Structure 1
Amino acid sequence: MASNGGDKKLHIVMFPWLAFGHFFPNLELAKLIAQKGHLISFVSTPRNIDRLPKLPPNLASHLQFIKLPLPKLHNLPDNAEATTDVPYNVVPFLKKAYDALEPPLTSFLESSNPDWIFYDFAPYWVGPLASKLGIKSVFFSIFTAPAMGFLGSPSGLVGTDPIRKKPENFLVPPPWVSFPTTVAFRYFEIMRISDSLSDDNESGVSDMYRMGAGIENCDIVAIRSCSEFEPEWIQVLENIYRKPVLPVGQLPSTTYDDNEKEEEKNDTWRWVKDWLDQQRKGTVVYVAFGSEAKPSQEEVREIALGLEKSGLPFFWVLRIQRGPYDEDVLKLPDGFSDRIRGRGVVCTSWAPQLRILGHESVGGFLTHSGWTSVVEAIQKSKPLVLLTFLADQGLNARVLEEKRMGYSIPRDERDGSFTSDSVAESLRLVLVEEEGRIYREKIKEVKDLFVNKERQDRYVNDLLAYLEEYKKTKLGAKAG
């Protein structure tokens, strides 16, 4: 492994929130740092670690997985260790169990004595814990700079900011953003996540408070972003956080081919590829809404009928339930499967997203706007049709609309409803029609910003240089 001079290597702990949209960016950053010869301890629960992709052999000695069993909670089903395992209303109990990892994490940190810990938005208690143990801390945001900039300062997030008291206040850009932008929530988007703004949930702590306290109590903030793509938003973060904000690049997904030797995954890809091979180049709509978002029954109906009306071939990865304890199992419209046989596939299990997006028959991606999915689409030059559901997805969609990188399906502002006709028209616009050419071209234009290996490498080198220098400066100050 290449080393930067004779410097002592860093030992960095990473502690992501229990969601696959959080594991993967953390793991990509962990792999990039491990490649430089530093030691990473990636901490999560046993079942989640077992579900992560295998590592390339050359990283095995630099990236270790640490399994901390998730404490048992009365309201949390057995084997539920990630958001994908439970219905949306059970996620607060998952946060409560995650908060109960503080004692075992403390023991691990005391025994391993790392230099730094990178933590996610949920464990708001890690900053003070690290500080008490003499460990430096990084709040690592997998949310983008525009999303974080829109949400505001740590003091505002923990609830001492007078400006935004009602959901309606989130429908316009805030006063601390000094440039013109459309980045804001739509009414239905903020109402769908209004529970995360309040402390009145089963975990007892709002997502906003978790985030604000996490930022307030860290030494530095690292963010999944690149300054060439959104410099003005990174500046907003520096202004409102009043501490160093380091972009770490877009962290495009990398796969290690030995993974594909896992029989089940190989078999899935084999039949998916056979079907894609039979379709015309650039005509297939790939539809997937990530591991978090689950459409309502009404939304599934309109999406299905919209795909049917579009006349385009499609491959739809549909999560019909969030884990085995979700009683609300989604159903396709009567007769739909017969009518689309041969033209469309609905897959209700895991599918290899990056490989599907890379297939030449895929012409576009109907997505929830989760940033990992967005980055993967850009990696494979596929234009985006957007249908947001929760969390930061609305803010991501505004950025993509603003930059003409994605087109949002028209919806009712109040309740977020949409029609099958608007689904069909949006898909045809972005994949087929002359008017939508801008979306097909823009994605190709920005690709280099997102996937350029040298640029990504530079971000990681800059981050590591900063971490090393910061540590030295603080130690020097202590000695002095």
Structure 2
Amino acid sequence: MEDVKQSNTGSLHLVVFPWLAMGHLIPFFHLSKLIAQKGHKVSFISTPRNLHRLPKLPPRSPLSSLITLVPLPLPRVENLPDDAESSNDLPYSKQQLLKRAFDLLELPLAAFLESSSPDWVVYDYASHWLPPLAAKLGIPRAYFCCFSAACMAFLGPPSLLIDGHDARTKTEDFTVVPPWIPFKTDMAFRYHEVAKYVHDNVYGTPDTVRFGVAVRDSDVVLMRSSDEFEIEWFELLRELYGRNKPVLPVGFLPPPVDEEPTRVKDWLDKQQVNLVVYVALGTEATLSQQELTELALGLELSGLPFFWVLRDPPESTQSVSEMLPEGFVERVKDRGMVHFGWAPQVWILSHDSVGGFLTHCGWNSMIEGLGFGRVLILFPMLNDQGLNARLANNKGLGVEVPRNELDGSFTRDSVAECVRSAMVDDSGEMVRKRVMEMKSTFGDRNRNGRLENEFISFLEENMPKRLA
């Protein structure tokens, strides 16, 4: 049971409003729990279906009286499916429709803010309209960033993003290190990481502007990272954002381990310690038929046990099970489990038999894997994932699957080689050692507690004058 400690400065009321993606909803919920543990009240606002997806607080938990889930029905827009309330409910090509509906939450959220008069609003990058709204109401604003400091530094200063002065307009422009990064690094996208998922902005405000406004109009930027891990990137961010803009690491918010699932546990319990590769590629990107085939056959060729989570692509007419190579599941059944649908990722990563994590390099997933000391096998697909892969590789925490720079293609042999290097071969020994050295940085609650306490103290000390 969580301990609740009463704040020395009086109880605050915070409104927390994440973007409609599980990789944002979950960290925002973890952040809300930390705030509530200090005796502050949280109104966590999202759509009804997304609130239902959040981890459940135990009925007798003291946090249940401090965290209130506030549902705001998602407005309907043309061509957006009625049951789509999260990015994992849609193919990537329809994400802009979800942002269009999300932006229509401005009026109901404004009404809630006016009626509840919170002491802080904690928001995400997508709600570019929220900071000026909160400022008008006199509510302090905290931008909680679910991306790495390196990723945000690559984007650049807010003025560049907002005013349209960014000279990067073509795919090739994002494959080189931007000029404002003063030290030697390969922090840039591969061509296929950008080109494959570039879509015309069919509605409204570009993401670059959303990011810029989120930073510029905040009173503080909270980063889900640590200055110990990304010291050079935090120093650069503070230069890019201006020395008057507080940029505070909140730590990695290590997640609690889920309740153990019987079927999954039974299979993992039979495997050798540190030898299973956990394979999960997130909820937004989808593999083509060729990519799925090469990945499957690569796992088979590696000769190592694996647990692979697969889900049917949204709006697809073909199930992912039908896309697997003929006879694959039968051939690997003695050492590989293919799991269709949702799986308890945190619990699986915590199991002693798991040694590696073949991941799409979402920041949330990487943090979870590293927090349990799992070697990363890097397979970035979209959004910030390519930059996260560069960061992990530069820090010696993973092995990246080599891919064609232009089209992203790869071979089964390269998959098998990377898996074996990360897990058992001598070539990956230094990576495995480095991951274990960093395990406590990502996963130790006491070590992360210092940063957690510092950012909550900032919120308490910068509360509105009416409560001071």
TM-score tier after normalising by the smaller chain length: over 0.9
1:453, distance to aligned residue in structure 2 (A): 2.0
Give the counterpart of 1:176 among 177, 180, 189.
Answer: 180
Rounded Cα–Cα distance in structure 2 between residues aligned with 1:128 and 1:393: 30
State the Cα distance separating 1:294 from its structure 2 match: 1.8
SS at match of 2:82: coil
Partner amino acid, structure 2, of 1:3: Q
Corresponding residue for 1:395?
387
1:343 and 2:330 are equivalent in the alignment: no
Tell me the amino acid that sits aligned with residue 361 of structure 1: S
1:291 aligns with 2:294: no
Rounded Cα–Cα distance in structure 2 between residues aligned with 1:84 and 1:379: 24
Residue 246, structure 1, aligned to residue 248, structure 2:
yes
1:272 aligns with 2:301: no
Counterpart in the other structure of 1:58: 62
Q: State whether structure 2 residue 135 is matched by structure 1 residue 143.
A: no
Q: 1:245 to 1:108 in 2, by over 3 A?
A: same
Among 97, 114, 130, the residue aligned to 1:126: 130
Secondary structure, aligned partner of 2:65: coil
Distance 1:455 1:343, change over 3 A: closer
Q: How does 1:59-208 map to 2 (within 5 A)?
A: 59-195=63-199, 200-208=200-208
Cα shift at 1:231: 1.3
CA distance in 1, matches of 2:327, 2:166: 53
Distance in 1 (alpha carbons) for counterparts of 2:223 and 2:371: 19
Q: How many residues were matched structurally? A: 459
Q: 2:5 aligns with which of 2, 5, 25?
A: 2
Residues 267-291 of structure 1, C-alpha deviation per residue, up to 9 Å, x if partnerless?
xx21111111222222211100122
Q: Please state if 1:418 is matched with 2:410.
A: yes
Aligned pair 1:453/2:445, yes or no?
A: yes
Preserved CA contact (<8 Å) 1:86 1:326? no
Q: Is 1:321 aligned to residue 313 of structure 2?
A: yes
Confirm or deny that 1:373 pairs with 2:365: yes
> Matched residues in 2 for 1:316 and 1:125: separation?
39
SS of equivalent residue, structure 1 residue 127? helix
Alpha-carbon shift at residue 140 of structure 1 (Å): 1.1
Question: Which amino acid in structure 2 is aligned with residue 219 of structure 1?
Answer: D
Deviation at 1:203, TM superposition (A): 2.7
Change (3 A) 1:134 1:290: same
Answer yes or no: is 1:12 the counterpart of 2:14.
Answer: yes
State the AA in 2 paired with 1:326. S
Asked whether the equivalents of residues 288 and 366 of structure 1 are also in contact (C-alpha less than 8 Å), the reply is yes
Q: Which residue type is aligned with residue 439 of structure 2?
A: K
1:162 deviates by 4.2
Identity %: 50
* CA shift in 2, pair 1:460/1:283, >3 Å: closer
Question: In 2, are the aligned partners of 1:294 and 1:319 still within 8 Å (CA)?
Answer: no
Query: In the alignment, what sits opposite 1:218?
Result: 218
**Alpha-carbon distance in 2 for matches of 1:117, 1:356:** 34
Cα deviations by residue, 1:331-377 (Å, 9 ceiling, x for unpaired): 10122122222221111111111111122222211001111111111
> Does the 8 A contact of 1:253 with 1:376 survive in 2?
yes
CA shift digits 1:362-400 (9 cap, x unpaired): 221100111111111112111110101001000000011
Report if the CA contact (8 A) 1:317-1:348 is conserved. yes
One-letter amino acid of the structure 2 residue matched with residue 452 of structure 1 = D
Q: Kindly indicate whether residue 273 of structure 2 is the aligned counterpart of residue 281 of structure 1.
A: yes
Q: Distance in 2 between matches of 1:300 and 1:27?
A: 33
In the alignment, is the contact (CA less than 8 A) between 2:277 and 2:306 conserved in 1?
yes
Query: Aligned pair 1:353/2:345, yes or no?
Result: yes
The 8 Å contact of residues 312 and 341 in structure 2, kept in 1 or not, is answered as: no
SS at match of 1:54: coil
Instruction: Note closer, same or farther for the CA distance 1:454–1:277 as it changes in structure 2 (3 Å cut).
Output: closer
TM-score normalized by structure 1?
0.92
Q: CA deviation at 1:186?
A: 1.0
1:425: Cα distance to partner?
Answer: 0.6
**Unaligned stretches of 5+ residues in structure 2:** none
Of 36, 39, 62, the residue aligned with 1:37 is 39
Structure 1 residue 151: deviation in Å? 0.8
How far off its partner does 1:158 sit? 2.4
Query: More displaced, 167-176 or 85-94?
Result: 167-176
User: Residue type of the partner of 2:131?
Assistant: G
Note if 1:233 corresponds to 2:233.
Answer: yes
| 3-state DSSP of counterpart to 1:282 | coil
Q: Secondary structure at the match of 2:435?
A: helix
Post-superposition shift, 1:254? 1.6
Partner SS, residue 160 of structure 1:
coil
Amino acid at match of 1:430: A
Map of 2:429 onto structure 1:
437
User: 1:334 is aligned with what amino acid?
Assistant: E
**Residue 263 of structure 1: aligned partner:** none
* 2: CA distance, partners of 1:140 / 1:363: 31
Mapped contact 1:21–1:291 kept (Cα < 8 A): no
Deviations 1:385-428 (A, max 9, x none): 01010010000000110011011001101111100110011001
Instruction: Give the 3-state SS of the residue equivalent to 2:462 in structure 1.
Output: helix
SS at match of 1:140: strand
The residue type paired with residue 385 of structure 2 is Q
TM-score (norm: length of structure 2): 0.94
Deviates more, 1:341-350 or 1:400-409: 341-350
**In the alignment, residue 2 of structure 1 is paired with which amino acid?**
K
Q: Classify 1:27/1:161 alpha carbon distance in 2 versus 1 (closer, same or farther; 3 Å).
A: same
State the shift of 1:60 in Å: 0.7
> 2:371·2:441 contact (CA, 8 Å) conserved in 1?
no
Secondary structure at 1:421's aligned position in 2? Answer: helix
For the aligned residues, what is the CA RMSD?
Answer: 1.7
